[in-house]
Amino acid sequence: MSEQFEAILITRDEKKNQAVAHVELTEDELMPGDVTVAVAASTVNYKDGLAITGKSPVVRRFPMIPGIDFAGTVTRSSHPEWKEGDEVILNGWGVGETHYGGFAGRARVSGDWLLPLPDGMSMREAMAVGTAGYTAMLAVMALERHGVLPDLGPVIVTGATGGVGSVAIALLAALGYEVTASTGRISEEAYLRELGAKEIVAREALSGPSRPLGKELWAGGIDAVGSHTLANVLSMTCYGGAVAACGLAQGMDLPATVAPFILRGVSLLGIDSVMAPKPLRMEAWSRLASLLDPAKLMAISQTVGLKDVLSAADDIVGGRVRGRLIVDL
């Protein structure tokens, strides 16, 4: 019989009541795939919080090992690109949603979903970035493609103390942007300024119903919050600017008007990390490795064990996590 490893397992009964347990499994119980990985680290992302608490239908196959990302070492491979001993990372592709994920000592996945551990990054650093940080990079790259460059003026980041927000601020500051951070945790002002934010805006200033057009304040934005907040950010974006939308911490709705689009030429840029094509992922991870200061990355991260993942899931959905949570396997 193959060796046992620890895992978090989500199950559901006939009445669709969800249960989450810390269990021991063997490799024989993993789902099919052409590469097996000894997982060294994973992370708790907002989506993992939704999956474990059952607050949103993230998990679409039961039972499920949650964990939408991981870093580890290949132990077995029949995929042409990977061999035993290779250090790899994975984000998305339905892992932790429809395919067993990273909250386990072993993962078996398609080799097509894996990327090499970026040069110069440790596995812990890669997971300090995790899906949240990689999504922040995709959002920055989308703004750049749209021509929202540092000389155009300030850029706002919402959900600033969260995972996407923290990494987005660090990246934008490293690239020379003037960053405004919107947060519900004004007590974290020093943390946000340390990351590179120049201005701090209280969450309440943006979380209520928006006017069709507001004062033009920002050349662009990275929004992890959605709902009224995104509507307000759009209405306050300068002529020709753009907002990269990647999250729904306030809500999935978008109670906005078309005024910013048709009267100011503002663009709304959608960011999806899960199915992003491989060349884009490679570019994002290579830029993350070169732009992020490892000391800053560790300063925004806390490490938890696999057993702590359940309470961490409650905390992240409750908006009580600052920065990033690494799960040490």
Closest to 142 measured CA to CA, from 307, 325, 287, 42:
287
Residue nearest to ligand NDP (CB): 162
Binding mask 58-97 for ligand NDP (x = CB under 6 A): ----------------------------------------
Q: Is 248 in the site for ligand NDP (CB under 6 A)?
A: yes
Which C-beta is closer to ligand NDP: that of 6 or that of 315? 315
Which C-beta is closer to ligand NDP: that of 207 or that of 235? 207
Which C-beta is closer to ligand NDP: that of 69 or that of 86? 69
52 vs 312: CA distance, rounded Å: 10
Which C-beta is closer to ligand NDP: that of 29 or that of 223? 223
Q: Is 250 in the site for ligand NDP (CB under 6 A)?
A: yes
Q: Which residue in 64, 74, 88, 132 binds ligand NDP (CB under 6 A)?
A: 132
The stretch near ligand NDP (CB under 6 A) out of 6-14, 104-112, 140-148, 178-186 is 178-186
Q: For residue 135, report the phi and psi dihedrals to the nearest 5 degrees.
A: -70, -40
- To ligand NDP, the closest distance from the beta carbon of 97 in angstroms equals 12
Contacts of 254 by beta carbon, 8 Å cutoff, 6+ apart: 226, 227, 230, 231
Q: Which residue in 249, 256, 312, 326 binds ligand NDP (CB under 6 A)?
A: 249
23 vs 310: CA distance, rounded Å: 13
Bridge partners, 95 (sequence order): 99
- To ligand NDP, the closest distance from the beta carbon of 36 in angstroms equals 26
Q: For residue 105, report the phi and psi dihedrals to the nearest 5 degrees.
A: -65, -25
Bridge partners, 242 (sequence order): 220, 267
127 vs 328: CA distance, rounded Å: 10
Residue 92 structure tokens:
């998305």
227 touches 203 (CB < 8 A): no
Bridge partners, 135 (sequence order): none
- To ligand NDP, the closest distance from the beta carbon of 304 in angstroms equals 14
Q: Which residue in 36, 42, 180, 207 binds ligand NDP (CB under 6 A)?
A: 207
Q: Report in angstroms the alpha-carbon separations of 3 from 26, 29, 71, 328.
A: 6, 11, 20, 19
Q: Is 157 in the site for ligand NDP (CB under 6 A)?
A: no
Contacts of 36 by beta carbon, 8 Å cutoff, 6+ apart: 27, 30, 74, 75, 76, 77, 106, 107, 108
Q: Which residue in 175, 213, 274, 310 binds ligand NDP (CB under 6 A)?
A: 274
Closest to 10 measured CA to CA, from 2, 1, 22:
22
Give how many residues touch ligand NDP by CB under 6 A. 33
Q: Is 172 in the site for ligand NDP (CB under 6 A)?
A: no
Closest to 31 measured CA to CA, from 114, 95, 111, 108:
108
Query: What residues numbered 37-56 form the site for ligand NDP, per CB under 6 A?
Result: 45-47
Q: Report in angstroms the alpha-carbon separations of 220 from 10, 152, 164, 301.
A: 39, 9, 16, 26
The stretch near ligand NDP (CB under 6 A) out of 3-11, 80-88, 147-155, 221-229 is 221-229
Which C-beta is closer to ligand NDP: that of 127 or that of 271? 271
243 vs 261: CA distance, rounded Å: 11
Closest to 172 measured CA to CA, from 244, 100, 121, 229:
244
Q: Is 312 in the site for ligand NDP (CB under 6 A)?
A: no
Q: Which residue in 232, 267, 273, 301 binds ligand NDP (CB under 6 A)?
A: 273
Q: Which residue in 162, 220, 221, 241 binds ligand NDP (CB under 6 A)?
A: 162
Residues that bind ligand NDP (CB under 6 A): 45-47, 131-132, 135, 159-165, 183-185, 203, 207, 224-225, 229, 246-250, 271-274, 316, 319, 321
